[in-house]
Every structure is written in C-alpha cells, then in structure tokens.
Structure 1
Amino acid sequence: MRNISDVIEQYLKQIIEGNEEALIEVKRSELASQFDCVPSQINYVIRTRFTEEKGYVVESKRGGGGYIRIIKRELDTRLAVYDQLLHLIGSSMTQHAAESMIDRLEEEEIITLRESRLMKSVIDREVLSVPLPSRDHFRARLMSAMLKTLKYKTSPD
C-alpha cells in the first residue's frame, strides 16, 4: 500500500503533466483538505519530492490568497539536463540530493533502472564510510564524475 506522500506526489505530477504550461498553482489548505491530512504533510511532499534536483521550481506566496506554484523545468536535450545537474552539485552533496538527481535521470529515461541502481550503490553512506563532511565531498565528486561520463558517452544528443 502506498503512503499518503506517494499519493499526493502522483496526484500533483498528473496535474502538471496534463497542463500545457507544465505548472500548477495549488492552495496548501485545499490540498490538505482533499487528502484529509495536515498542511505540513503537503509542505513535506513539496519540499522533498519537487526539488530542483528533480527538475522542479517551487514558488510560494503566503497569506490569505496564498498559493504554491510548482513548475516542471523542461530542458531541450539530455545534455542540458546533465549540465543543469552538474551545475547543482557544488563541492558537497547529501545522499538525498544525489538520489534525487539519479531518480530524475531515470524518470526522464536518460539512464536505465540498472544504471540508477549502480549509481545509488556508489553514493550510499554505507559505501562512503568516512565521517562527514568528507563523505559529502566525496559524494559530490563521484556524482560529478558519473554525470560527466554519462554526458560524454551520449554526446551528441
């Protein structure tokens, strides 16, 4: 059985996919009411499932007429996706952020399920068994190396 976060995520993604502009505006309280959950559950889903690493931009306006806008960033080519992800890495990266990037590559069918599993195994905290912050620095370097390898393997697009 799927949990409420998965259900909310799928619902929002279906709406985005059905919208010509690849964006939606929702009211947190209305969504919470629709799914019979607390508004903080909606915040959690949006904060963890609609990240920049996964290809989304989230904007919010607080107050009585407030809303949350979720925009799916559409990039023209696979190379553009790699470039965007490489730009996001920086010098340090959490396991969650790295896994989000890998999930995005898999969802957009840029990498296979097998490649996704392989990449996730390499960046896992159990494999990189060194103390923080060194672990996050190594993870960033590994992600960068893997993305560059994939990018140049598939060039030109």
Structure 2
Amino acid sequence: MKNISDIIEGYLKGIIEEESMGQIEIKRNEIAEMFQCVPSQINYVINTRFTVDRGYLVESKRGGGGYIRILRVRAHTKADLIEHIIVSLENGASESMTQDIVFRLIDEEVITKREAKLILAALNKKTLAIPLPARDELRARILCAMLLTLKYEKK
C-alpha cells in the first residue's frame, strides 16, 4: 500500500510528464488541500523526491502569490548524464545521495532495476562498514567506477 508521500510524488510527476515544457508551478496549500494533508507534507515530498540528484530543479517564491516551480532536467545523452553525475561525486556520496542517483538512472533508463539493486547493495553502509568520511569517499569512488563502466558500455 502506498503512503501519502508516494501518492503525492506520483501525482506531481504525472503532471510534469504531461507538460510539454517538463515543468509545473504549484501552490503548496492547494496541493495539500487536494490530498487532505498538511502543507509541510508537500514540502517533505518536494525536498526528498524532487532533488537535483533525481533530475529536478525546484524554485519557490514565498508570499500571497507564491508558487513552487518543479522543472525536470534531462541530459542530452546517457553519456552526458553519467559524466554530470561523476562530476557531482567529487566530494563523496552519502547513502541517500547514492539512492537518488540510482533512482534517476532507472528513470532515465540508463540501468535496469536489477542493476540498481546490485549497486545499492554494494554501496550501503552495512557493506561499506568503515567510519565517515572515508565511507562516503569510498562509496563515491566505487560508484564512479561503476558509472564509467556503464558510460563506455552503453554507447
């Protein structure tokens, strides 16, 4: 059974995909009212499910006429996407950042769900049982190696 966050995420992603520009402008209170939840639930969904690592840019304007704009960002090619991700890993990668990247790779059809499970299993904190920040640095190095393999294989 899906929770309210999953339902809100699916609704917003559906609207974004329907739009020719790949972006939407929403009012937090209107969406909260539609799903009969508190506005902070909408904030939670946007902050956790529409991140840069997942391929979204979020802008907001506060005040009476305020809005939240969510823009879907797609790379021109799979190789460009992989290169962009590799650059973003220069300072290490937390487990949640890695999950966001993997979800984006699935969404952009760079990897399969099976490959995603393997990557996440290899990079979780139980597998990489060393102290921080070394764990995040090692996770980033392993993920970069995997991505480089995909980049040159998937051309």
* TM-score category of the 2 structures, normalised to the smaller one: over 0.9
After the TM superposition, which segments of 4 or more aligned residues of structure 1 sit over 4 Å from their partners?
Answer: none
Hey, what does 1:51 align to over in structure 2? 51
Deviation of 1:129 (Å): 0.4
What pairs with 1:7-156 in structure 2 (closer than 5 Å)? 7-155=7-155
- Percent of matched pairs sharing the same residue: 48
What stretches of structure 1 of length at least 5 have no aligned partner? Answer: none
- The residue type paired with residue 2 of structure 1 is K
What stretches of structure 2 of length at least 5 have no aligned partner? Answer: none
Q: 2:151 aligns to what SS in structure 1? A: helix
Deviation of 1:40 (Å): 1.0
Deviation of 1:90 (Å): 2.1
Deviation of 1:154 (Å): 1.6
Conservation of the 8 A alpha-carbon contact between 1:16 and 1:23: yes
Q: 1:70 aligns to what SS in structure 2? A: strand
TM-score by length of 2: 0.96
Which digits, 9 at most, give the CA deviation of each residue in 1:65-110, with x for residues without a partner? 1111000012221111111211221221110110111111112211
Structure 1: how far apart are the matches of 2:105 and 2:74?
A: 13
Deviation of 1:145 (Å): 1.2
Which digits, 9 at most, give the CA deviation of each residue in 1:103-152, with x for residues without a partner? 11112211111111110011100000011111111111111111111101
- The residue type paired with residue 22 of structure 1 is G
Hey, what does 1:4 align to over in structure 2? 4
Q: 1:53 aligns to what SS in structure 2? A: helix
Deviates more, 1:2-11 or 1:86-95: 86-95
TM-score by length of 1: 0.95
Q: How many residues align?
A: 155
Structure 2: how far apart are the matches of 1:8 and 1:122?
A: 30
